Chain A
Amino acid sequence: MADKDTVNIITGGKSKATAKFESGPRAYWLRHSSDEKKWVAVAAQTHDHTMRVARVPAKTFYYEATPFVDAQVAVHSYYGLDDLTLINDVYNFEAEALGQKMIYGKDAMPTIDFRDPLIKKPADLLQLKTPDFKKDGRFPYQMEVFRQSIEIGCNKASFCGPFSLAVGIRSYPLLVRDMRKDPSFYNDLMTFLVDEVLFPYVKAIHDETGIAIMSGADAWAAFPNLSTELIEENVLPWNLRLLQKGAEIGVYAATAGTADYFEERPEKFDADILKKCLELGVRSQCAPVVFMGMGRWQDYPLEPVLEFARELKEKQDKPVMVMAGINARVLRDGPVSEIIRYVKRMIDTFAPEFNLNIFLASIPADTPSAHVHAAVQATHYFGQLPYQFRDEASFKLQERESFAEFMSKIDSL
């Protein structure tokens, strides 16, 4: 894999845009987007927040590709994010098309009805068929999102990781019981999902759009939702099976987020478990990406991550990429000073030695815009490349206009 591809895995790497836009957010994005790496890049999972900031109703945002992409590009532009991450309710599409019952709330993204799993008993698996990716569920919407992504230089698609998809149609308690008591059925289920759903989906995306880099979301396989032993035995082999099948058609379909360390109680932090999680993450993606996602990184010590990344660097000649998550609760709750310190700590720890990216992990809907601006501006200031230590007191946060004001002048910027 090329180094650039390693970087693209999570950040939604840039590629040459395939369309020209005269005005609006897409034109702004293309005018301001650059391959030049002036600073540590910052990306974000923003869909809930975008919907709120851009005031797009959920019934439009999660069903119509053009308003979804427009709103996402506008909000990414407003905050000055470096990479487009056009992720929506990524855990739902495959399950929904298979027939899983969903709840369609008026102010929120669609959500799986976990009370009523599609596979209530093992025999139900036999009724399932590969979805039609051209017409089933909201696949037409999602395919159009991917197609429009390419037009603005974002050459990356997303899918639901095998284990998380299994949870979506079987429910977590039943699936855990299957793992323990009926491993044969668990294997049948995962084989079906990888061979008959996810690989055909990955292939359909590639055939329809030409996208060759795809990232699977897998929050259900984060730690401690599963122990590292369960992840290694019951999740990793299926991620690798999909990765292998994708490779056979020239697609990199890696599941990210598997084994993401997300211990809620800082007093239970365990450096050995964390390192094992990081190792499983690297193996799942088959790439030297050290992934710190949703966890309480504001509280955990970073030394074990640094040690792991250094060991990884020594073992190979490829550059190691560190993806440093900024916790969603900190982003929402603030204060701004804590957000700035948090970002600076990540940068001062990892930027001197590694290819660092900052990731604003799932920005909550009602996060104050000032908090997101603070995280982005702090990244761009403290993360100027080549890296040089900058004193916290030297950073001056620039006050920004409202989103509406930004949009009113977007064509003149």
Chain B
Amino acid sequence: MTEIMDELKKAIVEGDEDLALEKLEECLNAGEKPAELLEKAVVAGINEAGRLWQENEYFLPDVILSAEAFKAVMAEMGPKLAGADVKSHGTVLIGTVEGDMHDLGKSIVIAMLSSAGYQVHDLGVDVPANTFIEKTKELKPDILGLGAYMSTTMEFMGDIIQRLVDEGIRDQVKVLIGGVPTSAEFAAEIKADAWGKDALDAVEKANQLLG
């Protein structure tokens, strides 16, 4: 890995979005291949942040800043990766259910899933059940990720899963849920396929679901 690639990785690990974008431009100007940059600097950077989080050296603010830097770099790199040989583990359609505006956890989950090789479509927050259903039909994701952060909104997750059944598409998609008030027991109750206790666990569960 070249020195500038290393600096790009470091900027992502340290959550310095402006510096990361600057280093990305330098790397591209220096002729580094986007696919290689993605793997060795960008993904490696967010994975390193995840490792530090797991080892209690990083806390939520550090991870959020890394995820934001990762997101900014990925937005710049997206068009440049077209046609590149980038391995995809699967597609994930993700959103926070209707009435719920919280997206902090979802942002980290998206960063971690993307870094693990998933193509993630983010529907945002306050997403009505109809949108989840229509987008599931349209995009045919491998996994539907549902987030809720209030005990009054998490119940909508069960409604969405029931809608998947009613529409006859439940067996075409795995449902992974998460969010502060949710639990493995709740996931089982509403017949979700898995529960992610945090972003890293969500990646593990996604890997298991598509194993």
- Point out residues on A near B: beta carbons under 8 Å: 48-49, 51-52, 58, 103, 105-109, 111-115, 172-173, 176-177, 179-180, 223-227, 230, 264-265, 268, 270, 273, 328-329, 332-333, 362, 364-366
Contact = CB atoms under 8 A, between A and B. Distances in A.
A365 B155 contact: yes
Contact of B151 (A48, A176, A223, A265): A48
B68 A173 contact: yes
Contacts of B150: 48, 108-109, 111
A366 B151 contact: yes
Contacts of A48: 150-152
B208 interface: no
A108 B150 CA distance: 8
Contacts of A223: 59
18 contacts: A52-B152, A105-B153, A108-B100, A111-B100, A111-B150, A173-B68, A176-B61, A176-B65, A227-B59, A264-B198, A268-B56, A270-B56, A332-B186, A333-B183, A333-B185, A333-B186, A364-B154, A364-B181
Interface string B63-75: 0110010000000
B209 interface: no
A180 B65 contact: yes
Interface stretch (B22-30, B85-93, B101-109): B101-109
Interface residues of B, number: 31
B60 interface: yes
B155 A265 contact: no
Contacts of A105: 98-99, 152-153
Contact of B126 (A58, A103, A176, A177): A103
Chain B interface SS verdict (over half): loop
A273 B57 CA distance: 12
Contact of A103 (B59, B99, B181, B185): B99
A273 B55 CA distance: 13
Kindly name the residue among B104, B124, B197, B198 whose own CB sees the greatest number of chain A CB atoms within 10 A: B104
Contacts of A273: 56
A190 to B, nearest CB: 16
Nearest to A268: B56
Nearest to B197: A264
A230 B61 contact: yes
Contacts of A58: 152
A361 to B, nearest CB: 11
A224 B180 CA distance: 13
Kindly name the residue among B64, B101, B125, B183 whose own CB sees the greatest number of chain A CB atoms within 10 A: B101
A107 B151 CA distance: 11
Given A114-B102, A223-B59, 17 more contacts: A48-B152, A52-B152, A103-B126, A105-B98, A105-B99, A107-B99, A111-B101, A114-B101, A115-B125, A172-B104, A176-B65, A226-B60, A227-B59, A270-B56, A328-B151, A332-B181, A333-B183
